[in-house]
Homo-oligomer: A and B are copies of this chain.
């Protein structure tokens, strides 16, 4: 107990799990500290829209302090987790140290390269706002470069986007990239036709969106192909280097932009907990979501491995993280009211409300229980659900207006390149420049635009 006699609950991470815990948990004898390494909650389901210039960064991010402004007995701390000392009930942060009575781990996941961390440099993933802004810059820069690239092969590579991974993120990225090229950029260039850009979605398994019913997977594939996306299923990546994907079939695809949407693993901080993890780094929690040996420490969301009755793990989606947060909030409230161990703790049950993925303007797939939707109706459902859950009134309104505007005009408001050109001054980002010279066949490139 803290000096003021109140139990101290420390929550690590302000994603969907951590934030939901802070909103649901209420107890007069407790105070809560929530720690995040950024100052904002990120609405991750729309991150691909920032990466493809549909939305601006502040439209999908909201300051954590603003969201939790009215929560009583709650502190927000901008800091990063460095290490844990579970036996003495302490968390070491980069700037501070915290003692806790209860600890809620909600640190989320990171992009995983299945043992090939060297691919990250050439095939960036999409987990943070910085990832999205960098992706936006690199996608837009490739078209600008293609406009003045004299060599046809290098130009083709600049206008090729490969997305690795056919899950929801990969499908959404592929659809949004195809729309960006075919509709948004189409009329803006003189020397190239952006509508001829190739968008290639690579998936190792036989279907995209393999977590969905087979007819919806098939529908998603058809909707992607209608947008011009080449969908390659049962297609495996052998290796990735700068601007080139080598497939197991022996084929090589040259592409200035290779986007990685193939895997997520738990935050690497789970390795510092000293408890058993699965291959994806997730904590094998008890059925009440507490850590083995530490009934006052809980893991929720993407970093927790929770098995359902059918033996499958609860999926790493935001509704699951939010349900886990609510479950843990009730357990700690009961502990504080009745004393620890007074009653057996309840077992977490995941309620699958359904799932959806958008493919483009008027194109999506969705199901909820027995209801399956695809095409325009699914897209409307997707819009509605995402607007309702987008945190913060202003963001909701701004995002809605953006969507209406984009829908009717095919323009994208956030189509700007930042952190470019690179400056030599300290504090400036050095972008990942792609050298196309290897691909050029002509000895001397012609000088375009000369009068």
Contacts and interface: CB of A to CB of B under 8 A. Distances in A.
Interface string A87-99: 0000000111111
Interface string A35-69: 00111100000000000000011110111011001
Copy total for this chain: 2
A449 B75 contact: yes
Contacts of A311: none
A187 to B, nearest CB: 6
Contacts of A147: 77-78
A341 B379 CA distance: 62
Interface in A399-444: 401-402, 405, 409, 411, 413-421, 423, 425-432
Contacts of A94: 421
Contact of A417 (B39, B75, B96, B420): B39
Most B CB contacts (10 A, CB to CB) among A3, A40, A409, A419 go to A419
A234 interface: no
A40 B56 CA distance: 14
Size class of the A contact interface (CB-based, 8 Å): 35 or more
Contact of A77 (B129, B134, B148): B148
Interface in A130-155: 130, 133-134, 140-141, 144-145, 147-148
Contact of A40 (B98, B120, B416, B447): B416
Interface string A78-91: 11100000000000
A98 B450 contact: yes
Nearest to A406: B394
A95 B154 CA distance: 15
A2 interface: yes
Contacts of A77: 147-148, 449
A147 B37 CA distance: 15
Nearest to A150: B96
A188 interface: yes
